[in-house]
Structure 1
Amino acid sequence: METPTDLWLAASIVVISLLLSAFFAGAETAFTAASRARMHSLEQAGDPRAAIVNRILAIRERFIGAMLIGYNIVAIGASAFTASVLTALVGKSGVIYATVGMSVLVIVFAEVLPKTLAISKPDKAALLMARPVAFAVAVMGPLAIAIEGVVRLMLRPFGVTIGEHQSILSATEEIRGQVALLHREGGVAKAERDMLGGLLDLSDLTVSEVMVHRTKMRIIDADLPSEEIVREVLASPYTRMPLWRGTPENIVGVLHAKDLLRALDAAGGDASGLKVEALALETWFVPDTTSLRDQLKAFLTKKTHFALVVDEYGEVMGLVTLEDILEEIVGDIADEHDVTVSGVRPQADGSVNADGGVPIRDLNRAMDWNLPDEEATTIAGLVIHEARAIPDQGTAFNFHGFRFQVLRKAKNRITTLRITPLASPAGGIRTPE
């Protein structure tokens, strides 16, 4: 018959076994969910515990094997010990009591509770358990290595290779997803999310998607009298103005306002004798397929902020500036000389009146929407792409969870649209009411 001392010893062993099981289960969850980026940052800052965590995560399969071995040894041992004690106390029915009792204790105290605590704050839990886990991995390392070898052999016929931590997403997509998650959880503000997203998009966007279209370019006829050219430059909100001769597509140079003003000052304020074309800078043409990342590097290398965009036939499509690229990162950059254009006008009913030429990316950023911009650059382009036609004034469409109504149209251009978020996304085309 069991003595009280034996019962206390048995209870102590069970409690210790449950605590060890909880440790192994919690450690596996904490280390698996811990942020690799945060641990790397802490290691760079000199935290020795983070360095241990990173070393353990570098041998992830061995770590998981060690945790599972430790967990199963103590959990099975505790169950077997409890069953033997209860059998000695109450007979054969003790096995049933041991099975039921240990199942509840293991599930609650050695599984759910430690894993819930670990997953709630995985980084802190991983740092706290770093040294004990390192010791456990070292002790059970040889057995874990042997089991790892067996697993590799078993998976080899199926073409599965462990140890290759290759994400199905690219590094950029991984970062973008993490930023979106942090924004949803309140860790990153919308402005910061937009800036980081814009920075990541530089490689995917081309200059043709952010350029000022040639129909909106402010250009000056080089054959105008110099006095009139001076007035044009002074009336412009821009410091760089393309000069053309013969036809607007024939750009012969770029006139910088500072160069013109210096020459005007040297001439004593007399503009009549200025040779404006001689003051113009050489025109820099870039292909429309150039990525914003490459164009930004080119701007920095050439130490200039202005380039004309041409298509594959050499025709001028528009112009791009350093500011256009920076605005993709930080949003609209306005100064006291900028012309205010009301391209997006929110309405009291929750809808938005937008000019057809408003870029989809700008509207998404302003309204925190997620309209697709893969097939079109502007709002009007998106409507035409979805409708497969140039719709008439008054026509309305439902797609991507929004209602698009054409308010105004000039010839073949959609000039104004009303965009209304729908309570439930609907697809297809709706005719005007």
Structure 2
Amino acid sequence: MNEAPLPALFTLLAVLIVLSAFFSSSETGMMSLNRYRLKHMAKTGHRGARLADRLLQRTDQLIGVILIGNNFINILASAIATVIAIRLYGDAGIAIATVLLTVVILIFAEVTPKTLAALFPERIAFPAAYVLRPLLKALYPVVWLVNLFTTLILRLLRVSAQDASSEHLSREELRTLVNEAGSLIPRRHKDMLVSILDLEKVTVNDIMVPRNEVVGLDLEDDIDTILRQVKASQHTRLPVFKGDINNIQGILHLRNLTRIVHQESINKAMLMQLCREPYFIPESTPLHTQLINFQKARRRIGIVVDEYGDVLGIATLEDILEEIVGDFTTDYAATSPDIIPQDDGTYIIDGSAHIRTINKALGWTLPTEGPKTLNGLITETLEIIPETNVCLLVQGVRIEVLQIKDNVVKAACVHPSPTMIASQPRRVGVE
């Protein structure tokens, strides 16, 4: 090397710096790849992605071959630079070579290539995989030996490769990933995906129709009254009870009535033969569990009961699906909306309106951990059932009771806080 001409040594040094930049950028590019996008591209047949995915399956071997190559080249470059400097400046050239080579490697072989690789990992990693794969095979004995010593040292430090965190995304991480997807996923689809993830947090009690709003058939009524109710019903399935809704006898599908409508006389016994046995649901069942339970039981409606077996209401498959996709049917029984916007920015809200529905429609954050309806929130906050129209403040929201009947708040005027007005959607309605 001492006899080699200086131009050849300078050329060799430049080549080594380029190779050092290659290994540096390859390391950063490989480690910066989006693993989920990489797996998708590998499944679609991208050759570079397949090679990179195989290399990343054994990260220890990949880092081993990159560092072996990078360190070998940097040390060789340092030796050549020292020879060049000694020829040009004598013994003082050692210090000059150290300073200059450090600056050159830092700029051209470390910071610049690694920055480019971090910004464009796929453009760097995929072509590099074509070189690193055969290089790993050629240097495998050396890589294996280096990794062996590394594993022994890690064991002395009581560190195991199995202790590394899993690549699987948690539910919260997946929610963040969906929200950060930008324009890649339409807003409507984002809402549906997030709603699916939130099913675990919502129970049947949150979405059920309360018992005081349940439309059913009472067997203690005469047959003519029952048939009039059937004809006027806007629902396809009706609970059938005797005297009290706690005494559920079955579920009647109105489609089954076509079997007996041609008969001249219809009695209650004939109706009961068409009923299906009731399906009961504990009130605390999470929605994602109940969705599976509906599928297993092949049911579409269930009777929600508390720990004492008393009926609290009914929940349907449609209610759960609407939690995911939003309302897709019209409630013909409703003559007016639960939330009526006023010209002064306030809202007249029905006392039976669910707090989750209010939050969804108006973008508010009223507490949902306790009471499920606006009436329940008011009575819990006051700790009494109001006898006159009163006004209260809940998390910055002023609620003015307008109508009370049968110990229940029927309507209230809600004054949102300024921050809620700024953040609420333009359109009022349940998504």
Judge conservation of contact 1:376–1:385 (CA < 8 Å) in 2.
no
In 2, Cα distance between equivalents of 1:115 and 1:371: 48
| 2:158 corresponds to | 159
| 1:294 corresponds to | 289
For residue 164 of structure 1, report the CA deviation from its aligned partner.
Answer: 4.1
| 1:306 corresponds to | 301
Moved more, 270-279 or 326-335: 270-279
| 1:84 corresponds to | 83
Question: Structure 1 residues 67, 412: closer, same or farther in 2, change over 3 A?
Answer: farther
SS at match of 1:290: coil
For residue 305 of structure 1, report the CA deviation from its aligned partner.
Answer: 0.8
Moved more, 359-368 or 170-179: 359-368
For residue 358 of structure 1, report the CA deviation from its aligned partner.
Answer: 5.1
In 2, Cα distance between equivalents of 1:384 and 1:231: 37
For residue 346 of structure 1, report the CA deviation from its aligned partner.
Answer: 7.0
RMSD, matched Cα: 3.8
Question: Structure 1 residues 91, 397: closer, same or farther in 2, change over 3 A?
Answer: farther
In 2, Cα distance between equivalents of 1:100 and 1:347: 75
Query: Which 5+ residue runs of structure 1 have no aligned equivalent?
Result: 424-433
The number of residue pairs the alignment matches comes to 412
| 2:322 corresponds to | 327
Judge conservation of contact 1:351–1:420 (CA < 8 Å) in 2.
no
Task: Please point out which of 228, 234, 238 is paired with 2:235.
Answer: 238
TM-score by length of 1: 0.79
Moved more, 60-69 or 289-298: 289-298
- Encode CA deviations 1:344-380: one digit per residue, 9 max, x unaligned: 567889987766655565556556677775x347474
| 1:71 corresponds to | 70
- Encode CA deviations 1:236-256: one digit per residue, 9 max, x unaligned: 332112122222322222222
Question: Structure 1 residues 349, 316: closer, same or farther in 2, change over 3 A?
Answer: same
Judge conservation of contact 2:86–2:93 (CA < 8 Å) in 1.
yes
Judge conservation of contact 1:217–1:319 (CA < 8 Å) in 2.
yes
For residue 10 of structure 1, report the CA deviation from its aligned partner.
Answer: 2.9
Question: Structure 1 residues 179, 226: closer, same or farther in 2, change over 3 A?
Answer: same
Aligned: 1:179 with 2:178: yes
Task: Please point out which of 191, 196, 209 is paired with 1:194.
Answer: 191
Question: Structure 1 residues 273, 193: closer, same or farther in 2, change over 3 A?
Answer: closer
> 1:240 is matched by which residue type in structure 2?
R
- Encode CA deviations 1:63-94: one digit per residue, 9 max, x unaligned: 12222232222234324422431342134554
| 2:424 corresponds to | none
| 1:267 corresponds to | 263
In 2, Cα distance between equivalents of 1:379 and 1:83: 80
| 2:419 corresponds to | 422
| 1:427 corresponds to | none
| 2:40 corresponds to | 41
Question: Structure 1 residues 216, 151: closer, same or farther in 2, change over 3 A?
Answer: farther
| 1:408 corresponds to | 401
For residue 420 of structure 1, report the CA deviation from its aligned partner.
Answer: 3.7
Question: Structure 1 residues 413, 339: closer, same or farther in 2, change over 3 A?
Answer: closer
In 2, Cα distance between equivalents of 1:328 and 1:221: 30
Question: Structure 1 residues 396, 338: closer, same or farther in 2, change over 3 A?
Answer: same
Judge conservation of contact 2:379–2:385 (CA < 8 Å) in 1.
no
Task: Please point out which of 186, 211, 214 is paired with 2:211.
Answer: 214
Question: Structure 1 residues 136, 345: closer, same or farther in 2, change over 3 A?
Answer: farther
Task: Please point out which of 263, 273, 282 is paired with 2:277.
Answer: 282
| 2:427 corresponds to | none
Query: Which 5+ residue runs of structure 2 have no aligned equivalent?
Result: 421-431
For residue 388 of structure 1, report the CA deviation from its aligned partner.
Answer: 9.2
For residue 306 of structure 1, report the CA deviation from its aligned partner.
Answer: 0.8
Judge conservation of contact 2:348–2:411 (CA < 8 Å) in 1.
no
In 2, Cα distance between equivalents of 1:112 and 1:351: 58
In 2, Cα distance between equivalents of 1:158 and 1:384: 59
Moved more, 57-66 or 85-94: 85-94
Question: Structure 1 residues 320, 64: closer, same or farther in 2, change over 3 A?
Answer: same
For residue 196 of structure 1, report the CA deviation from its aligned partner.
Answer: 1.8
In 1, Cα distance between equivalents of 2:283 and 2:218: 24
SS at match of 1:422: helix
For residue 59 of structure 1, report the CA deviation from its aligned partner.
Answer: 0.6
Judge conservation of contact 1:364–1:370 (CA < 8 Å) in 2.
yes
| 2:423 corresponds to | none
Judge conservation of contact 1:380–1:414 (CA < 8 Å) in 2.
no
SS at match of 1:145: helix
> 1:239 is matched by which residue type in structure 2?
T
For residue 322 of structure 1, report the CA deviation from its aligned partner.
Answer: 1.0
| 1:138 corresponds to | 137
In 2, Cα distance between equivalents of 1:395 and 1:382: 13
Moved more, 138-147 or 325-334: 138-147
| 1:20 corresponds to | 19
Question: Structure 1 residues 61, 239: closer, same or farther in 2, change over 3 A?
Answer: same
In 2, Cα distance between equivalents of 1:293 and 1:9: 70
Aligned: 1:6 with 2:13: no
Question: Structure 1 residues 321, 55: closer, same or farther in 2, change over 3 A?
Answer: same
For residue 21 of structure 1, report the CA deviation from its aligned partner.
Answer: 2.1
